[in-house]
Structure 1
Amino acid sequence: MPEQLHCLIVDDEPPAREVLKRYVEAIPSLVLVGECENAMQALSFLQQYPVQLLLLDIRMPVLMGTDFIKTLSHPPQVIFTTAHRDYAVEGFDLNAVDFLLKPISFERFLKAVNKVLQKNALDPAPPVSNFTVPEPVLSEAPAFLYLRIDRKMVKILLNEVFFLESLKDYVRIITVNGPLLVRQSLSSLEEMLPEQEFVRIHRSFIVARRHIRAYTHETMEVGNNELPIGRLYRNEVLKLL
């Protein structure tokens, strides 16, 4: 099982904290270690307990979330949450992993968490004192996503994916271990995939570049499958390949 990230929710609105708690509990790689109503409570918590991920509201009484981050000499990774779009630029200037606009959908939250997990896989943090953490893996870890499949969060190694196919409200993911069905749009999954490894060749297909066996102007062989290259995507696809 992958290392779990200890995360802290900081938000002055109880309903917002409840939503984030449900989302955190649905993702095996996250473990909720606490929740705070404001930045001063969060500061006290961080002085006593190790936290690797902050789910931090921006507009709060006493001290704004963005100002709070500036007071920390070694802040954890941060995903900002807010109902105010105007703070996005400042949030990213503080090296936030992502910026989530309320109301936050689970799909959008999962995309942000996947960014954190992929970043940690490529650049694992050293063990934190006060609790046991597995030693970082020295070999290069393959990129992955967690996606909701059959009411479970399933880890999908991207180097095992051949292609993705849009099926109306679902996406079929063809992997070395067989097909998986995800209730999500192809466009939302495209945003989560590393663009240097995947390419969209049709409105209904995204393929893994490592598994392309051959191609023409109109078709592409991926694994044992022949897929169409859409007319609108053709020039860009051929330019990339």
Structure 2
Amino acid sequence: MLKRFRTVIVDDEKKAREGLQTLLAQDPEIELIKTCKNGIEAIEFLKEEPCDLLLLDIQMPAVSGFDVLKSIRKPPFTIFITAYDEYALKAFEFHALDYLLKPFSNQRFFDAITRAKQLIRNDNTALSSQMDKLLKQLESNGEQSGIIHSNNIERLVIKASGKILLLDTKDIFWVEAHDYCIKIHLQDTHHLINGSLKGVLVKLPSNSFLRVHKSAIINTKQIASLEHLQNAEYMVTLNNNAQVKVSRSYKLPMDDFLGSL
């Protein structure tokens, strides 16, 4: 017998609800049992009728999506659907299965639904691994992410010291290779994460960040001064007084940057 997943939609925008209904109708395993136009309606329904999967808007009048989950004794598996990326970090705290940023493609939506169904079938291990999976998705490029877009992001999602952080890229002074990890330097602190300089560079705004050494990337908007060194090298001093050398191998990109000023 075909397993059907009892699903509820909660969104204060009629057009959004209708769009989700149309998409869900294409999946024979989904049984849409309710569409709610606000958080209050959702709370009242979910207290009486359990569901397997909840498609939940976050920013709604009076009662937010987070308030909805707080009000339910045993919240169902949830996919957040929102137009606001600033809620991504908080979504982790509620063990979201996924976080879709409007507008999203049909393929992105169905990928999320497929993953949700798999996790619901194996819910004994789902939540323990979902944070890492969602982080990888947030960090991926292009449409698959819905939040981070290569060369045009304002925030960088990282996992450091057991926490998931969203860093404003304008607050990043420089990034350095550190053993087999990378160290992201802010004004008064730093974060050590797994990864490579090449991998993080493609996730930073190309109009602000420049690789200046095999082991260093700088935020050009944080440059305070430059000093010519011997062997056609530069020493860059940043606004936090950190000094980073521009090697000869990366002198040309720096010259191009200076010529554009």
TM-score by length of 1: 0.50
Structure with greater proportional helix content? 2
